[in-house]
Structure 1
Amino acid sequence: MNCKLFIFLFLAFCCLAPSGCANVGNDTANNTLTETATNASINPGDSNRNAGLRSSIKIEPNSPADVVRTFYKYLREHKFREAIFLTNLRPAIEGLTETELREYQVDFERIGNAIPENIVISGEVISGDRATVMANLPGEDPDKTEVQKIELRKDGDVWIILSVDEAAEARIKKEGKNYFRLLRIETHEDEARDMLDRISRAEFAFAMQKGGEFADLETLIKAGLLPNDVRTAESTGYNYKLFLSDSKREFTALATPAEYGKSGRLSFLLYSDGTKTPQIISRDNGGKPLSR
């Protein structure tokens, strides 16, 4: 949730037609790429001799490995349209105008900023119209990389990355350019519920140290119990407000869409009198705050 807003620049000419991204090896068509990779077949019995052993795989232009390499290159460069055109998410973005695409700036940059500078391609397996590429990518711990498998499918003469499963791909084809808008709404609503749960836990952690008294948002943030972005809807899509009773032994927290129908549809309310398990209620209230 601690995402910073950066200036998002789009190229004047992006891939807008199916043929626009067919040749994903344009950056490398005139030279052979070689990626250094960890040798996955080191003999355990030769651990001393092979310690730190590195090998290389040759990456041919327009091959599955080249598509993966180009995809992450585009993400790092924040060329999100070009990157997504290399995946089965393409129907969700090819109908978007540049103005519409900019609306997802913060959401896409969360991904782009997490891509390491060097992606190590460690293997490529092709079987008919399917392929698997192995690469070192951030795992659950964003500060560490691990070998992950990236699946691809050949459509005509082009390899595409399977970013989503068949069910999601069918949904994307059905919703088209509305897919990211609806997905963002769902994501922001899930995050709003999670944030209210986090506020609840922060309040009780604070109260345990303060004789049962709760605190306002700023106090919880300064105590390191809540992230800074709870102050603004810039990255969360929701406005958060916290109200304390005069005795500071009851609190009510609200989460309301910053832009109804765009950043979220559901409004949320969390209430606690300090004696019962806090409950979160939500409903579509037309973008207005809920009340008890």
Structure 2
Amino acid sequence: MTKSWRLNGLLTIWLTAWLTGAVGAQSPAKPSDAAPRSPTETVQTFYRLLRERQFAEAFQLHVCGPAVEKLTPQQMGELEPEFLKLSGGIPETLTASGETVTGDDATVFVVVPSGVAANGRPQMVTAPVGLIRSEGRWLIGDRETQALAQAHGGSFFKLSEEGVFIKMAENEDAMARLLVKLLEVEQVFARNNQGRYGTLQELVMRRGQFRDDVAKLLEIVEGGEPLGHVIEIVVTPDRRDFAIYAVPKRHNYDGRYSFFADRDGVRYRNYGGARIEKDTPGNKILN
């Protein structure tokens, strides 16, 4: 699995991955009052607002903005110590070494301290900050985090701290690996049954044909709802082909991605919890 599947649920880790930039930016203006900021200007302004403890304004420049906007005063007060920890660690002076823009994605490169060298001076490293363009504005973060913040609103940070998103990512990672294994199981089943593939129920019923580790795997999927997902295997009338479908039981809680698997591999995409087909636009192929 690639690192893009990993989704950390701790608030500080969610944010510090995107909290690198440079100070000395212009005074912030509302999006409707000024021309759109460049990616570098966005990072600069976000940083300065954090240092000034203007957290609500800062997160207008972050994909977590929809979640911050929905916070009650009490919730904001509970989170303020975490925001203060983040802003307290931001140096007064940072250097931006450049930016790259590809369509609606951008990366700003900044030079930040990382530990202390033997001579007592800070060791400097270059760190990337990812941004996306949304409704004509650059925002720090990624689209998946933005979708979760929009879906959960003021509950986003609480769910993050409770580990819901960590568990969701773990479910997705395990489901992808499970589907790869089920593809192998189908091939073994077909070899043992005159080239005919089986439904999930048939694979489970005949698990005695398989190695012990595969039999245990089939016990896990026996109910059809493992790892927070609902699985169904559909075979053609002549049983010479098959497709595996998996969707999250609760979209954006148990998982984001819907899966489709056949002899050509596994495909996935965030489809609002609905089933995808092999040719659904926007599908990604699992590597």
TM-score (norm: length of structure 1): 0.40
Higher relative contact order (CA 8 A, sep 6+): 2
TM-score (norm: length of structure 2): 0.40
More helix by share: 2
